[in-house]
Amino acid sequence: MAAADLFDFEEVVVEAVPAAPRVLTVSELSAQVKGTLEGNFGRVVVQGEISGGKLHSSGHFYCDLKDDGAVLAGVAWRSTVARWPRVPANGTLVVARGRLTTYPQRSTYQLMLDSLEPAGLGALMQQLEELKKKLLAEGLFAAERKKPLPFLPRRIGIVTSPTGAVIGDMLHRIADRCPRTVVLWPVAVQGAGAAEQVAAAVEGFNRMSGDARPDVLIVARGGGSFEDLMPFNAEVVARAVAGSDIPVISGVGHEPDVTLCDFAADVRAPTPSAAAELAVPVRADLLYTLAQLRRGLVQDMQAQLLVKRDKLAYMARLLPDPRRQVVQAAQRLGELEERMGHAMRRQLAVRRERVGHVARVLQGQNPHDPLRKGFVYLTRSGAMVRSAKAEAGAMTVHFADGTREATLQ
């Protein structure tokens, strides 16, 4: 640089030395973001579809508001929810009013809800309602189609995911209440192809025969968003469940969640664990009931025995003494024997007298009797000669002490 250039300035140039930037804490930055967001937006009105809605046990309501391009978290405190006539179901298109704010602990923003007013059904909900009306018109949900659950199933078929807490909870409940044989048909419970797998499992169980065939089926999955539960709203699942010859318990989602699988099933349980409880009775209760019945039966038998014993004793008092009866019968028999002896002797005397009379009569008619008086009679060739005009000739003369031959002149 030339020396002249060193003085080639028309004015004094002053340059400020840049100050070092102020270091903010995370909380300070979050507070600035919160202030900017709330200051620029304040209260807003947003239209979206309810997804993943959940009414917490504390009374607070959490959900997502979504459309085709984005998702906005929403929350309403218990005091706000208490003023609502009802909590909108998942899939409902709503107009939400509230205040946009941030949640610094998670670096997210959300809509603090004041109200949720239905704006009509969302696309998924609209399709679901149309399908529900169609199946309802076909009678798939009719009460007369429902089959009763077996009181004590021998085998239980479960259609659910083999992983996760659901199957473990169900097996634990069954083991605690009344251990049974459980057959798991593993399926995907959300995502593409899940509905087809669930339907195929239900139909596969129904094709079983003999000892391998379950007595009751449970179709189950844990809670989730409206979209997560959509496989259980599929037509193929509803038709498979409704067409099952084996009674089906539907335990899909949690208490507020209702799917077409619930409508088609024979029994709907609010949770998978509740479905397991519905499938089997409590073994301890059964044993207690059996013990009570046995005790009642024994008491009833004892009471009946006492009644019969008293009746027998009463009847025994009414009956005469059998020993006295035997003695009296023996006495009557002796009397009869004595009377019979007298009667027989009288009859014998009468008959003996009659025989003597007959004998005397016969004796009087005996042709040999006059011979002892000196009479004789003649016979020729064994025939008696009765006339003096008989032909002369040889004859036999019969005397009392014998015969002589003679000739009749």
Last residue of a domain, one of 281, 313, 341: 281
**Mean pLDDT of the chain, nearest integer:** 85
* Region 328-349 average pLDDT: 87
Range of the domain at 57: 26-121
409 Cβ partners below 8 Å, 6+ apart? 392
Is 291 part of a structural domain of the chain?
no
Q: For residue 15, name the pLDDT band (cuts at 50, 70, 90).
A: low
Same-domain check for residues 206 and 266:
yes
Residues 254 and 377 grouped into a single domain: no
The reported pTM is 0.52
Last residue of a domain, one of 90, 121, 152: 121
**Do 72 and 173 have their domain in common?**
no
Asked if residue 163 and residue 39 are part of one domain, the reply reads no
Q: Are 150 and 216 in contact (CB under 8 A)?
A: yes
Strand ranges across the sheet with 248-252: 181-186, 155-160, 216-221, 248-252, 267-268
Q: Pairing mode, if any, of strands 108-121 and 71-76? A: parallel
232: in domain: yes
Domain stop point among 263, 281, 299:
281
- Tell me 232's DSSP state: G
152 and 237 together in one domain: yes
pLDDT band at residue 244, thresholds of 50, 70 and 90?
A: very high
The arithmetic mean of pLDDT across residues 153-157, rounded, is 94
Which sign, positive or negative, has the C-alpha torsion 166, 183, 163, 231?
negative
Structure tokens of 246? 């084996």
Number of domains in the chain: 3
Interval 144-168 mean pLDDT: 92
Residue 176 has pLDDT above 80, yes or no: yes
168 occurs within a structural domain: yes
Look at residue 13 and tell me if it is in a domain: no
Give the CATH number of the domain where residue 246 resides: 3.40.50.261
Q: Is 251 helix (H, G, I), strand (E, B) or coil?
A: strand
Answer yes or no: do 172 and 216 share one domain: yes
Does 148 share its domain with 78? Answer: no
Residues 159-170 as b/e (b if ≥16 CB within 10 A, e otherwise) read: bbbeeeebbebb
112 with 159, same domain?
no
Clarify whether residues 99 and 168 are in a common domain.
Answer: no
Q: Based on the domain organization, do 215 and 259 belong to the same domain? A: yes
**Residue 247 contacts residue 216 (beta carbons within 8 Å):** yes
- Examine residue 187 and state whether it is found in any structural domain, yes or no: yes
